[in-house]
């Protein structure tokens, strides 16, 4: 059945005369589309989609819809017609508190692992988020643990990596292997000589470093408050991350040459690579500047290259190295001299000229 054409009734036209031209045109089009709808047989679908299709195919709507929309945007309200749907609510501002129902929904989704967990507020790399503050007596055991773990890591480094710093010892071990082959003519025994020498290096490295560690734990690290916090010109700091002590460093003044010595620096192995060691070193430099010391000095037997790069990045200059340094706890026996060697490096950062 075709669509019947028609126009708004005279009464409706009289009610529209007082409106603006654009509004009147829009209302005429809408009333024409509403009032001139086809007769629908039984069983035909009815709904918004069907009425929209009729409106776009009606001659009156097709002729008047485009000029009205082009002149008026957005479409004004008409008397007797339903208002357009309200605009969508804007998204909540950043940091705004969500409704309780939304918070419960987010919590359920996270428990079901549909959403990622909230971002952690842990400190990012570069030492940011780490608090460097003075030592407190309640942190004695945490500081001793970090110091102990850091020193124990030097046992394999000194035994194996440290051998590369001593070419004379390498030559001596090679001569021992050659002598073994010359007397035994056995390749198997000759190959076992280097393994035995490395085993002896590890044994004596463990022996000497443990003796040094026991000596330190019985002296200054036994009572940090007494050795570093009470004497003038000395201090001890801890690095705290998420409420846990993750690093330590100490400073001790030498009044005879007006310098400060940086010592006992160590960082928990689980938190390395975040700039914590550099932040601890800077704290010692600030201490020296505030107290008007002329230089900061340090000595280390570290084998790792990263430790030396750290000191250089802080501004220290390498002043020399010695292969005859005696660690506390050494007995200087022939076996120790043969299977344990350390190289002691000295660094200095000049703050001002005397």
Q: What is the pLDDT of residues 144-202, one digit of tens each?
A: 999 999 999 999 999 999 999 899 999 999 999 999 999 998 999 999 999 999 999 99
Q: How far is CA 73 from CA 66, 68, 76, 230, 343, in A?
A: 12, 9, 8, 79, 84
- Which residues lie below 8 Å from residue 24, measured CB to CB, with a gap of 6+? 16, 17
Which pLDDT score, from 0 to 100, does residue 13 have?
54
Q: Judge whether 296 and 259 are in contact, CB under 8 Å.
A: yes
Q: For residue 34, which of 15, 60, 14, 67 has the smallest C-alpha distance?
A: 60
Q: Judge whether 76 and 23 are in contact, CB under 8 Å.
A: yes
- Which residues lie below 8 Å from residue 330, measured CB to CB, with a gap of 6+? 208, 211, 212, 336, 340
Instruction: Give the chain's length.
Output: 354
Which pLDDT score, from 0 to 100, does residue 352 have?
85
The residues of the chain scoring below 70 in pLDDT are: 1-128, 354
Q: 341: buried, middle or exposed (CB in 10 Å: 19+, 13-18, 0-12)?
A: buried
Which pLDDT score, from 0 to 100, does residue 9 have?
54
Neighbours of 177 (CB within 10 A): 17
Output the pTM of the full model. Answer: 0.63
Which pLDDT score, from 0 to 100, does residue 67 have?
44
Q: For residue 222, which of 300, 153, 141 has the smallest C-alpha distance?
A: 141
């Amino acid at each position: 059945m075709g669509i019947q054409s028609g126009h708004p009734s005279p009464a409706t036209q009289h009610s529209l005369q007082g409106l603006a031209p654009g509004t009147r045109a829009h209302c005429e089009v809408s009333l024409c589309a509403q009032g001139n709808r086809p007769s629908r047989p039984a069983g035909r679908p009815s709904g918004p989609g069907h009425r929209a299709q009729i409106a776009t195919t009606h001659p009156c709507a097709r002729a008047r819809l485009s000029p009205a929309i082009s002149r008026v945007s957005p479409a004004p309200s008409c008397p007797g017609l339903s208002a357009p749907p309200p605009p969508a609510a804007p998204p909540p501002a950043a940091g705004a508190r969500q409704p309780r129902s939304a918070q419960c929904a987010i919590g359920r989704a996270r428990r079901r692992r549909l959403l990622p967990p909230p971002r952690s507020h842990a400190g990012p790399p570069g030492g940011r988020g780490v608090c460097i503050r003075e030592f407190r007596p309640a942190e004695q055991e945490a500081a001793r643990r970090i110091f102990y773990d850091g020193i124990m890591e030097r046992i394999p480094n000194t035994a194996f990596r440290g051998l590369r710093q001593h070419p004379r010892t390498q030559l001596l071990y090679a001569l021992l292997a050659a002598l073994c082959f010359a007397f035994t003519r056995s390749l198997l025994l000759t190959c076992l000589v280097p393994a035995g020498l490395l085993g002896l290096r590890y044994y004596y490295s463990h022996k000497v470093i443990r003796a040094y560690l026991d000596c330190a734990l019985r002296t200054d690290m036994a009572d940090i408050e007494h050795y570093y916090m009470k004497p003038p010109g000395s201090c001890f700091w801890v690095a705290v991350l998420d409420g846990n002590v993750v690093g330590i460093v100490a400073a001790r003044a030498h009044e005879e040459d007006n310098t400060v010595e940086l010592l006992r620096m160590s960082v928990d192995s689980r938190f390395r690579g975040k700039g914590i060691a550099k932040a601890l070193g800077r704290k010692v430099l600030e201490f020296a500047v505030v107290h008007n010391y002329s230089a900061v000095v340090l000595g280390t037997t570290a084998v790792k290259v990263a430790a030396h790069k750290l000191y250089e990045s802080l501004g220290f200059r390498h002043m020399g190295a010695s292969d005859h340094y005696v660690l506390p706890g050494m007995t200087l026996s022939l076996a120790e001299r043969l299977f344990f060697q350390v190289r002691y490096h000295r660094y200095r950062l000049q703050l001002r000229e005397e």
